[in-house]
A and B are shown apart, each in its own frame.
Chain A
Amino acid sequence: MTKDELFKKCVEILHETFDLPEDRIKPESRLYEDLDIDSIDAVDLIVRMKPVVGKRMAPEAFKSVRSVQDVVDALHTLIHSDAP
């Protein structure tokens, strides 16, 4: 999956899970400040991302995530890593 496809997938999940209008979600949108996603929401987000990449993101890896682009990058790295 390319980063572009991953971003589209992220927008879809953010929209379904948090009812955020899709046009409000930009790569540079910050999860906490701009999209009002807190630490409990982040856990849900990780669970919902799992089917997309087939692997579960470590919650620790999510801690350094600030923007939607960071999520995309993290997912991209995850897909292309050899770790199970």
Chain B
Amino acid sequence: MGKRLDRAWRIVATGFCFFVFGLGGLVLGLFCVPVLLLFFRDPRRRLRASRFIVHHFFRFFIGLMNFVGVISYELTGMEKLQRPGLLILANHPSLIDVIFIISLIPQSGCVVKSALARNPFTRGPVHAAGYITNDAGLAMVEDCRVHLAGHETIVIFPEGTRTPLNGEIDLQRGAANVAIRCHQAITPVSIRQSPRGLAKGQKWYQVPPAPMHFVIRVHDDLQVDPFSDGGAPEPLAVRRLNAHLKSFFEQESGRAAS
């Protein structure tokens, strides 16, 4: 009985959290963006202000999920995020990973699915924070190059979509292309989630038997130039790097253990 009650509570609480998130996203898009336009003429300062707001909105959301008992979490290596111009790559077990990572970094860009730039509940934060959309191939790499050259941090989820429930990690090559072509070291962030929930193909109300526990670990930077050793052409270096990242994330996401 207690177990069923706990689960029912977490369904209600999850629904409530997402309701608040959707509402916040709408307000951000309809209200905050115009107000910021009014107050900040300089686009760079406006972007900083928007990212500041989005970051705190996401922090609030994660705090709320934690407070109502839907999630719990442990963080390690967060001091490594206190540097500008990082290329942060993370695995992607759940719907809230982007929110989680952005909640940990005050100023950051992010490569997101272009559908999020059209969804009325998410377009506000996505546009305001100047996020990069992922459907452009080489244009996405060039967008990232501009961000990194300006010492801006970018977050990319190289899987491009959430990890399937079997835990098998399949990486797109976009993120590796950014790292190799921009000669940018990678700051890997592993997200270990147990039990899995809010995963690909799961509805928000299909809550797991226990609250979702997240272990988020920031690892030491990975230098990418060694992957071009022997004068490997860029596409080849990208493939080597991707193979390395795949096994790294499979290990660190806990797939090897389960």
Query: What CA separation (Å) do A44 and B236 show in the bound complex?
Result: 11
Interface SS of chain A: helix
B interface bracket (residues with beta carbon within 8 Å of A):
10 to 19
Q: How far is the CA of A44 from the CA of B234 in the complex (A)?
A: 8
Q: How far is the CB of B136 from chain A (nearest CB, A)?
A: 9
The answer to the question of B138 belonging to the interface, with a C-beta cut-off of 8 Å to chain A, is yes
Instruction: Verify if A39 is at the interface (C-beta below 8 Å from B).
Output: yes
CB distance from B14 to the nearest CB of A (A): 36
- Beyond contacts A17-B235, A38-B173: 13 other A-B pairs, Cβ-Cβ < 8 A, are A16-B233, A18-B236, A19-B236, A19-B239, A38-B137, A40-B138, A40-B173, A40-B174, A41-B235, A44-B233, A44-B234, A44-B235, A48-B233
What distance in Å separates the Cβ of B235 from its nearest Cβ neighbour in chain A? 5
- Is B177 engaged at the interface, CB distance under 8 Å to the other chain? yes
Question: Which residues of chain B from 204 to 258 have any CB-CB distance to chain A below 8 Å in the complex?
Answer: 233-236, 239
**Which residues does chain B contribute within 8 Å of A16, judged by CB atoms?**
233
Does B90 lie at the interface of the complex (its beta carbon under 8 Å from any beta carbon of A)? no
Indicate which residue in A17, A43, A48 contacts B138 across the interface (CB closer than 8 Å): A43
- Does B191 sit within 8 A of A, measured CB to CB? no
Chain A interface size, as a band, is 10 to 19
Q: A22 to B151, alpha carbons, bound, how many Å?
A: 42
26 contacts between A and B (CB under 8 A): A16-B233, A17-B233, A17-B235, A17-B236, A18-B235, A18-B236, A18-B239, A19-B236, A19-B239, A38-B137, A38-B173, A39-B137, A39-B138, A40-B137, A40-B138, A40-B141, A40-B173, A40-B177, A40-B235, A41-B173, A41-B235, A43-B137, A43-B138, A44-B233, A44-B234, A44-B235
Alpha-carbon distance A41/B141, docked complex (angstroms)? 12
Chain B residues contacting A43 (CB-CB under 8 Å) are 137-138
Q: Distance (Å) between the CB of B181 and the closest chain A CB?
A: 9
Note all chain B residues with C-beta closer than 8 A to A38: 137, 173
B87 CB, min distance to chain A CBs, angstroms:
16
| Chain B proximity of A77: nearest CB distance (Å) | 24
B136: nearest chain-A partner, CB-CB? A39
Q: How many A-B contacts are there with CB distance less than 8 Å? A: 28
Bound Cα distance from A44 to B141, whole angstroms: 13
Q: Which residues on A sit within 8 Å (CB–CB) of B234? A: 44
Which of A's residues lie within 8 Å of B, judged by CB? Answer: 16-19, 38-41, 43-44, 48
**How distant is the Cα of A44 from the Cα of B138 in the complex, in angstroms?**
10
CA distance A40 to B236 in the complex (A): 12
Nearest-neighbor residue (CB-CB) of B135 within chain A: A39
Chain B residues, Cβ within 8 Å of A19: 236, 239
Q: How far is the CA of A58 from the CA of B6 in the complex (A)?
A: 60
Roughly how many angstroms separate A43 CA and B239 CA in the complex, as a whole number? Answer: 16
CA distance A16 to B173 in the complex (A): 18
State A43–B139 Cα separation when bound (angstroms). 11
Q: How far is the CB of B244 from chain A (nearest CB, A)?
A: 15
Q: In the complex, what residue of chain B is closest to A44 when comparing beta carbons?
A: B235
Smallest CB separation, A80 vs chain B (Å):
28
Complex Cα distance, B177 from A44, in Å, reads 12
Question: Residues of B contacting A41 with CB < 8 Å?
Answer: 173, 235
**A43, B233: Cα distance in complex, Å:** 13
Interface residues of B in 161-204 (CB under 8 A from A): 173-174, 177
